[in-house]
A and B are shown apart, each in its own frame.
Chain A
Amino acid sequence: MKKKVKIRTWIQLAMFIFVAIIAVNHTLVESGKGIPFLSRASLHAVCPFGGVVSLYNIITDGTFVKKIHESSMVLMYIVFVSSLFLGPLFCGWICPMGTFQEWTGIIGKKIFKQKYNRFIPYSIDKYLRWLRYGILVWILYMTAVTGKLIFQDFDPYYTLFQFWTGEVAISGFIALGLVIILSLFVERPFCKYACPYGAVLGIFNLFRIIPLRRNSDTCIDCKLCDRVCPMNITVSKAGKVRNHQCISCFECTSDDGVCPVPGTMEFRTNSYKASPLGSEKVTK
């Protein structure tokens, strides 16, 4: 079963390396030593969130926010299309910052075992989950007003891939340090509480064409799906998961994740047909 999940790890690893190479090569290009045949693009140029923060400027005066180019818009549209069908696939499979947090979290899992990712009480956590929308609104407003990438100085992703350039503000290092420390206790803390792009893509969960569905007729209530969910979503109580925090990681599914009952937890367009046996459960 683990083998099937591994494809996500490979995709994440490949994207992390790809972005790291782009970032390093851009530094080399600026010093006149770029690697031939590799893109000269900056980190900003390959970030789809740049397209989101540029939307206001493009609509009002037809220009991009400084350091953002057409490539960010293209990537933004692509990610939006994929999210319309499969939700924040970008977060769960592509985003190097999410990958980095997962890797850091491996240490936390080894230290805290079952307690890992269960430190913050639900009564507090449920409010903290809306924080990223506040951050998103602040960024969109400030970027529109200033025409500058206002989040750059606080962005742990930018810091992670530019820390050697001397262009990273101290606040960026603090943000990255916090994310690393928190990742030892909480899975994907930046995604859950602070990522503005995750906030945008999370909205697609509310109307995505292919949602995560649970077949309550065959579900054995083992709660493995709840335990494995990096975003702490209570999957075992949902018929159709519309939670704005789902990252489409497939960790809870029957085919590729931990669900032990085939055909019980799947990303699918149509609902499960009611079993003729009523609520009779399939035993483990």
Chain B
Amino acid sequence: MRIKANVAATVLPVLFIVGIFLSSAVGYWKTESSKNSTKFTTGIFEGEADPADIRGSYSFSDLEKAFDIPVATLAKAFGFSSSENPEGIKLKEFEERYGIIGDFEIGTSSMKLFTALYKGLPYEPEDDTGIPQPAWNILNKEGATEKETLETYSERVVSLEGLEVSTKTAEHTEKSEETIIKGKTLFSDLLNWGLSKEQIDDALGMSMEAPGDSVRDFCSENGIGFSTVKTPLQKLLDNM
């Protein structure tokens, strides 16, 4: 058999088209994260989805599929109304909507903790991970975690009553909105606001990479809790 250039020219494009078509047909072709948390591979929870692998890019709908918790329950737990189209709400929006309340933060880690307690799965929260009051009420009512164990998390409960407006309003009046660390904040923003690379590295516990990276994505990729980085950095900014 002899192969000419016109045949070579068609081989790969045709294989690409056929391969992508077939893999799409069987549901294997994916160009984005599958939103399926990794599963416990050992112990009594083997085969169960691991709440620790929940990411900010997950929507309530993704969580419903992965952990079998109804979207309505998730929305109610985190203070979203049904008119806000809760199916599409992504966890990373929590940080902009609530952020730090008192000593605790309502963010993606809060959902990890809620999911773990709701399903009775193991999860080690960060020190400043908060639980919204509505979520706490749901956990007490229908969560799989025993009351005694649940009670050990009671000091993390934060009220959302009025906070959505008052907290943000207070923050906005005290400091410029530009210097509030949010989910979209880039390392370059921190540098522009006056922090040094050394201060950022200290907070991260490792060297930051490209200035164009978002702090949250960097933390997510390196297994660092965003809130554990955000809090000390925000304090540094507040003291400037």
- Could you tell me which A residues sit within 8 Å of B by CB distance? 4-5, 7-8, 10-11, 39-42, 45-46, 61, 63, 66, 69-71, 74-75, 77-79, 81-82, 85-86, 89-90, 93-94, 148, 153, 165-169, 210, 248, 250, 253, 255-257, 266-270
Does any Cβ of A come within 8 Å of B240's Cβ?
Answer: no
CA distance A253 to B3 in the complex (A): 10
B30 near A256 with CB under 8 A, answer no
Does any Cβ of A come within 8 Å of B221's Cβ?
Answer: yes
- Closest CB-CB distance, A132 to chain B, in whole Å? 21
In the bound complex, residues from chain A placing their C-beta under 8 Å from that of B32 are 40-41, 45, 69
B5 near A256 with CB under 8 A, answer yes
Flag B156-188 by CB within 8 Å of A: 1 or 0 each.
000000000000000000000000000000101
Other A-B contacts than A79-B12, A167-B212, 6 sampled, CB-CB below 8 A, are: A39-B31, A166-B212, A167-B213, A248-B8, A256-B6, A266-B3
Interface range for B: 20 to 34
B15 near A81 with CB under 8 A, answer yes
B13 near A66 with CB under 8 A, answer no
B3 near A70 with CB under 8 A, answer no
A74 near B11 with CB under 8 A, answer no
CA distance A12 to B11 in the complex (A): 14
Assuming the contacts A69-B31, A82-B12, A94-B12, asked whether A7 and B5 have C-beta atoms less than 8 A apart, the reply is yes
- Could you tell me which B residues sit within 8 Å of A by CB distance? 1-6, 8-9, 11-13, 15-16, 19-20, 23, 28-34, 38, 41, 186, 188, 209-213, 221
Beta-carbon nearest neighbor of B221 in chain A: A66
A74 near B38 with CB under 8 A, answer no
A169 near B8 with CB under 8 A, answer no
| B5 contact from A4, A168, A210, Cβ within 8 A | A4
Beta-carbon nearest neighbor of B214 in chain A: A167
CA distance A63 to B8 in the complex (A): 34
In the bound complex, residues from chain A placing their C-beta under 8 Å from that of B2 are 266-269
A250 near B210 with CB under 8 A, answer no
A89 near B29 with CB under 8 A, answer no
- 17 A-B contact pairs sorted by A residue (CB < 8 Å): A39-B31, A41-B32, A63-B38, A69-B34, A71-B31, A78-B12, A89-B8, A89-B12, A94-B12, A153-B209, A165-B212, A166-B212, A167-B212, A253-B5, A255-B4, A256-B5, A267-B3
In the bound complex, residues from chain B placing their C-beta under 8 Å from that of A4 are 5-6
B9 near A8 with CB under 8 A, answer yes
In the bound complex, residues from chain A placing their C-beta under 8 Å from that of B34 are 69-70
A75 near B3 with CB under 8 A, answer no
| A166 contact from B8, B20, B29, B210, Cβ within 8 A | B210
| A210 contact from B1, B28, B211, Cβ within 8 A | B1
In the bound complex, residues from chain B placing their C-beta under 8 Å from that of A77 are 19
Beta-carbon nearest neighbor of A73 in chain B: B28
Beta-carbon nearest neighbor of B209 in chain A: A169
A74 near B28 with CB under 8 A, answer yes
In the bound complex, residues from chain A placing their C-beta under 8 Å from that of B12 are 78-79, 82, 89-90, 93-94
In the bound complex, residues from chain B placing their C-beta under 8 Å from that of A79 are 12
B211 near A166 with CB under 8 A, answer yes
CA distance A40 to B32 in the complex (A): 8
In the bound complex, residues from chain B placing their C-beta under 8 Å from that of A45 are 31-32
Q: Which 9 A-B pairs have the closest CB atoms?
A: A166-B212, A41-B31, A256-B5, A45-B31, A70-B30, A78-B19, A267-B3, A268-B2, A250-B5
- Closest CB-CB distance, A71 to chain B, in whole Å? 5
| A42 contact from B3, B23, B31, B38, Cβ within 8 A | B31
Assuming the contacts A8-B9, A256-B5, asked whether A168 and B20 have C-beta atoms less than 8 A apart, the reply is no
A78 near B15 with CB under 8 A, answer yes
Assuming the contacts A81-B15, A267-B2, asked whether A71 and B8 have C-beta atoms less than 8 A apart, the reply is no
